[in-house]
Structure 1
Amino acid sequence: MILKTREWIYLTLICVVFTVVYYNTYDEKIAILGDNATYYILGKGLSEFKGFVNYASPTQTPHNHFPPGYPFLLSIVMLIVSDDMQVMKILNGLLTLGIGLLSYFMIKRLTGKDILAAFIAVAIVMNANLLYYSSVMMSEVPFAFFTLLALSILTRMSLEKPFFRDPYFFIVVGLIVFSFYMRAFGVALLGGVVVYFLTRKKWWHSIAAVGGFILGVIPWQIRSYQMGGSNQLNVMFRKNYYRPESGNIDAVDLWERIIINFQRIFSIELPEAIMPIINLSDETTNTVTKWLIGLIFLAIVIYGIKKMSSTGILVGGYLGFTILILFIWPDYFSSSRYLVPVIPILLISFYAGLYQLLNQLTKSYTKRVQFNPLFLLVFIFFFISPLKELSKASRQNYSPQWAEFFALAEWSKTNIAEGAVVCSRKPNLFYLFSKHPSCNYRYTEDPDDLLDGLNRHKVDYVVFDQLGFSTTPRCLGKAINTYQDRFKVIQYIGPEKRRTYFFDYNR
């Protein structure tokens, strides 16, 4: 493919805009999300050929919660470049830029309008929600990149060939499988692709795609089954992960969960994902306003998908299946982060729909003149405020509670015996700062059961933090108060009313 001078200018513009905003919003701190530490540790285990194991745990048992796709990607970078965590963060930044560039080519091919394509690509790389995850070691951005790559390749495919003679078909199926190994939501991509094939009456393409996907994921499913089933599925159907005694959901619980998620996604999270300057999570915003804004944004997205013709079926199918999965996702895990992987698709659909809508209105009044996509540049002013907030947050220190937690971890690195096992509420984050084998405690209010878990892990030390998790005072605190003779304070940090303690545990 030979690029024209005009295209080079737009691509350079996208790269320059991304470089500027990424430099100003990049956060070198380790995120206080336990998942990002887990991903790094899993990648570290793979890079050292220890297998897909809980590398930081005392027993280094096989891992069965997160799929191995993103840790595998991290391990490749660790082997080839470096295991420095900043390198892992920058990897996500480069993939974010890749999303912007892929979007440009995809939109230009679908609409033939390079100005519109360049604007949407810029809107994507300036989206504050996406940019936050571009400097966090999480799977949202890599997943978004590889799913968008699959969709982009699929829109270029000629479906006139038999699937077995089209190398692009096998690349797409491979990307679907790899996306699933990144996040279980990859099954939504399969759903969108199959619907696309079926509407084009490509029956064998549909069958082969499903068959290839099944063959690709069978090894992981067999492994999960041998380990007692997928932990993510077990979590999904729990009433409350943090209260195991509450059991699994029933039909009534599932229906209530769907209603709660439906309301939250369409009245709050979808418009906030598209336009980060909007804050509908604020309790001062009334319900009618939330729904009015949410439905307007949803209508524009649907209109944009509809105007994409056959490609709209592909994009809409993927987006639709993603939202259907989110409907049954545990509402106590509710977070806008679950929409982050589809933010590029939402932005493409929204701005394409907005352009088509404004174009129709312009034609209806002027009869001939088309709407100029350059007028969409006014939206850039709405991107600036969230980016300033993100930049400000990236330069702030940890909160006192987290700073004290990490300070104790660093203290333990040189003040307790090498290989000593430490129990804390965020074991993987603690491990990154201490390098000591770490584990969590059981979320149980039975002190004997909790201590049994500590003994099984051969715990030597216990951290009682002030991070705000309810399980700490409810479960761990109760056990410490019940068996005070088995917990001896050897270090603490912070003021008396908000003190983080480091206990020597007597097994």
Structure 2
Amino acid sequence: MFWSAVAGLLVLHVAIAWILRQPIGVGNDDAIYLQLSRSLQGLSYREEYLVGAPWHSQYPPGYPMILAMISAILGERLGVILALSALISAGALFLVFDATRRLWSPVLALMVLAVCAVNPSLIQNAGEIATETSYMAFSALALWFSVRKPESKTTIVLAIAAAIFSVLIRSAGVPLLAAFFFAWLIERRFQRAIVFAAATAVFVGSWLAWTVVAPQRERGRSYVADATALIKGRNAKGKAFLLPVRIGRNARAYVLKSLPSKMNLPVISGTLIDNIIWLLVMVACIGLGSWMIWQRQWRLVILYLLLYAGLLVLWSWPIARFLDPILPFVFLALLLGAWGFNRRFLPRFSWAIPIALTAMITVSSLAQLATGIAESRTCDRANPRESACFSAKERAFLNAAQYAKTQTEKSARFVSSKEGAFSYHTGRELVTIATVYHRGAEGIIDRMHSNNVSYVALGTGTGRERVLIDALHRVCDRLEVVQLFPPQAAILRVLPGSQTDQSGQACGVLSRPAQDSSSDPDVPWSKRR
């Protein structure tokens, strides 16, 4: 019965992830990962969708490598990739379940698995091309090896390999490596720590060194560029980059908003008292649970969570999706702490509080997923541009991409704020905004001419696009409207030489107020519009 429940929860997780799977849209990252995987299959790591095919330095090669292996064996089929992603996610949850079962109790392990299996954020990640699921799986694998008994050289090597590869999937996972290193120092296993540090320096250090020396680094698309700006404190908001202010701002955002939302705690919108109660429950239970994990000698997890939290609060701005890969361990701390309080104050009903928490969180998650499943019925994945897979603004941009693919010459070069997505849907080469907007708006048309840019694709609604629009508006007579795609997408042609368009159509398009057409990637599928 017990193992049937475990299998049922894992199957449910995979099934819902498959039902809510997402086609490639305007998110950019998924399209870039796929195109980098194609480059890896050609034994390179270049941005072949950009003019000049520069070497890539934003994302480490681990996840594109996984996609390349899948595509090489099974072909680049989105359905296959997403099905395997859902299975990988289920595997990660099983590893956390098994470690919890070994260290504490099968009942506690089952409750942790239950809240994770139906968590909307984890399910959303499992049904998308994104690094969160694979990083969560390899980091969980590394931590799982650390509790295997008896310890052997093989398990140590496998734990090191999994930890290093997880960071080659996602650079933000560096705290996991630091956790292993410090844990072994605390245990006075100095030789093991030195070997681990050397292996990390070779594999992870070489990648990080490349990101530092890479010639193309753009804020918002390079951790190094973000960190450099962070250190120099160059930001229009000024004091937002002061260390105490930034730490306080990020901590409040994560603790008061992002974490309760990601955990899907059942709160009533517009009320205060239930939010305060849940905050107190969350802080008390996670605090006690963390202490119990430390006492149980799984110090790696606590060191990992502390170092990871430190990175998040120190970073330039809060990024809610960075919480996703650590959610299983946060749920473990929450329910373990609840169990600890229960045994202390209600010893006759030792499971009452954790069972109640599990039930409330699970029901809340299932209610949200039910809405998402109902919405997904209107998504025709065979024809996503004409169905409700995306918002109206996203469909407009995808229709613009389809127009570019079918109605422009194959050699045409474009500028778009979502280079990866636009290239994926069109097969056209792109020139980055940073290339044509070099040192300001002056001369932007001349730089487009020198880079043989023929068209500008608008409609993503991003801040980067707004910068481009503001610059082009000053020279809007040098552009002409090729096609409009309501509500806000458009394709503009860059007029050759010194030609001008006296109709003023392009000026009208460029003067419209900015609207964000992209769905928030941190909002679970059932809440996206």
The answer (yes or no) to whether the contact 1:277–1:386 under 8 Å persists in 2 is no
Letter of the 1:401 partner, please give it. Answer: K
Q: CA deviation at 1:255?
A: 2.9
Matching residue of 2:155? 168
1:251 Cα deviation from its structure 2 partner: 10
Match of 1:3 in 2: none
Q: Per the alignment, do residues 203 and 471 of structure 1 end up closer, same or farther by CA in structure 2, a change over 3 Å counting?
A: closer
- State the one-letter code of the partner of 1:266: V
Q: Paired residue for 1:27, among 12, 15, 21?
A: 21
Structure 1 pair 317–39 and aligned structure 2 pair: CA distance change class (3 A): same
Quick one: structure 1 residues 54 and 376, their matched pair in 2 at CA, closer, same or farther if it must change by over 3 Å? same
* Counterparts of 2:398 and 2:303, CA distance in 1: 44
- Out of 286, 289, 300, the position equivalent to 1:304 is 289
User: Which residue number in structure 2 is paired with residue 82 of structure 1?
Assistant: 75
Helix, strand or coil for the counterpart of 1:307? helix
Q: The residue matched to 2:89 in structure 1 has which SS? A: helix
Name the CA distance, whole Å, in 1 between partners of 2:391 and 2:11: 33
In the superposition, relative to structure 1, how do residues 285 and 445 fare at CA in structure 2: closer, same or farther (>3 Å)? farther
**SS across alignment from 2:11:** helix
1:41 to 29, 35, 44: 35
Per mean C-alpha deviation after superposition, the further-off stretch among 36-45 and 442-451 is 442-451
- Structure 2 unpaired stretches of 5+: 380-387, 498-529
In 1, the alpha carbon distance for the partners of 2:489 and 2:427 equals 23
User: What residue is the counterpart of 2:308 in the other structure?
Assistant: 322
* Residues 86-235 of structure 1 mapped to structure 2, 5 A cutoff: 86-111=79-104, 113-158=105-150, 166-228=153-215, 231-235=222-226
What residue number does 2:359 align with?
378
Counterparts of 2:216 and 2:389 in 1: how far apart (Å)? 40
479-488 or 97-106: which moved more?
479-488
CA distance in 2, matches of 1:240, 1:436: 37
Distance change in 2, residues 1:254/1:167 (3 Å): same
The reply on whether 1:253 has 2:242 as its aligned counterpart is: yes
| Cα displacement string for residues 386-436 of structure 1 (whole angstroms, at most 9, x for unaligned residues) | 212333454433222211111011111121111311111212111121111
Gaps of 5+ in 1: 1-5
- 1:419 and 2:411 matched: yes
Corresponding residue number in structure 1 for 2:6:
11
Query: Shift of the alpha carbon at 1:360?
Result: 2.6
Greater shift after overlay, 137-146 or 208-217? 208-217
Distance 2:414 2:296 in 1: 55
The answer (yes or no) to whether the contact 1:115–1:374 under 8 Å persists in 2 is no
8 Å contact 1:266–1:295 — kept in the other structure?
no
Mapped to 1, the partners of 2:234 and 2:108 lie a distance apart of 53
Aligned partner letter, 1:388: A
Aligned in 2, Cα 1:325/1:392: closer, same or farther, shift over 3 Å?
A: farther
Q: Which runs of 4+ in 1 moved over 6 A?
A: 247-251
Question: What is the rounded CA distance, in whole Å, between the counterparts of 1:228 and 1:433 in structure 2?
Answer: 27
In structure 1, what is the equivalent of residue 398 of structure 2?
406
Corresponding residue of 1:500: 490
- Number of residue pairs aligned between Structure 1 and Structure 2: 478
With normalisation by structure 2, the TM-score equals 0.82
Partner of 1:348: 332
Partner of 1:397: 389
Counterpart-to-counterpart distance in 1, 2:182 and 2:371? 40
Q: Does 1:358 align with 2:342?
A: yes
Give the drift of 1:448: 2.4
2:253 to 264, 268, 273: 264
Distance in 2, matches of 1:310 and 1:70, equals: 33
State the shift of 1:328 in Å. 1.7
Taking only the aligned residue pairs, the percentage that are identical comes to 19
Residues 212 and 77 (structure 1 numbering): CA distance in 2 closer, same or farther, change over 3 Å? Answer: same
Q: Kindly indicate whether the alpha-carbon contact (under 8 Å) linking 2:132 and 2:325 is maintained by their aligned counterparts in 1.
A: yes
Query: What displacement does 1:453 show?
Result: 4.8
Letter in 2 for 1:12: A
Query: Are the aligned partners of 1:267 and 1:295 in contact in 2 as well (CA < 8 Å)?
Result: no
Distance change >3 Å, CA 266–CA 77, structure 1 → 2: same
1:251 and 1:431 mapped to 2: Cα distance? 35
Distance 1:125 1:257, change over 3 A: same
Report the CA distance shift for 1:353/1:32 in structure 2 as closer, same or farther (over 3 A).
farther
Task: Describe the superposition over 1:251-283 as per-residue Cα deviations: whole angstroms up to 9, x where unpaired.
Answer: 96333221210111111222222225447xx7x
Q: 1:338/1:256 Cα in 2 relative to 1: closer, same or farther (>3 Å)? A: same
**Contact 1:96 1:145 (8 Å CA) reproduced:** yes
